[in-house]
Structure 1
Amino acid sequence: MADEENPPVLTEIVDDSRAPRRAVDAAALEALARALERAVLERLGPEIDRVIQEKLTRTLNHVLGQALDGVRAELTQSVTQMVREAVAASVAHALALPDQQR
C-alpha cells in the first residue's frame, strides 16, 4: 500500500477495514420508529399539553368574557324595562286610588 512518501492514487485499491453494514429489516426499523416516537412524546407531551392548555384558557377567557358582556347588557336592559313597567303600574295605581275614594 501507499506510505507517507507515496500517497495512494485512484487506481489503487484501499483496504476498507470497517465492517460491512448490515441491512436493517423492516420489523426492527418499525420497532425503532415506535420507540423513538414514544420517547419524543414522553419528553414533549407535557410541554405540548401546557401550551394547548394556555392557548385554550386564553381563548375561552376571551369568548366567555364576550358572552358575559352580552348577557350582562341584556340583563341590564331587561331589569331596567321591568323597573320602568313596575313604576308605571305603581303610578297608575296611585293615580287611580283617589278616583275610587270619591
Structure 2
Amino acid sequence: VRRRVKAALWLATVAALIIAFARPIWGVRADVVTTQGVAIMIVLDVSRSMNAEDVLPSRLERAKLSILDLMDGLEGNEIGLILFAGEAFVQFPLT
C-alpha cells in the first residue's frame, strides 16, 4: 500500500510538472502594448575588401541592399549611419 501511494504521488508530481512546463492558458486576454521607437546606428565597412565579389554583386552592394531592406521595416525609429575604412565617420546622425 505504501509503495502504491509513493508511486501515485511521484506520478502526480511528474504530471504537475509537465502541465506547468506546458504553461497552459485559460480564457483570452488582449493587451494593448505601446512601444517607443528605438535608436539604431548602422556601422558599415567601406574599405577596399568590401569590393570583393565572393557575394554577388559585391560585399558592399549586398550590405547596402540589406540596409535598405532593414530601413523599410524600421519606420518610426531613429536610424543613423557610420562608415569606416581605417577611420570611422558619421555619415548620417540619428534622425
Asked if TM exceeds 0.5, the reply is no
User: Which has the larger share of strand?
Assistant: 2
| TM-score normalised according to structure 2 size | 0.29
Which protein, 1 or 2, shows the higher relative CO under an 8 Å CA cutoff with sep ≥ 6? 2
Larger gyration radius, structure 1 or structure 2: 1
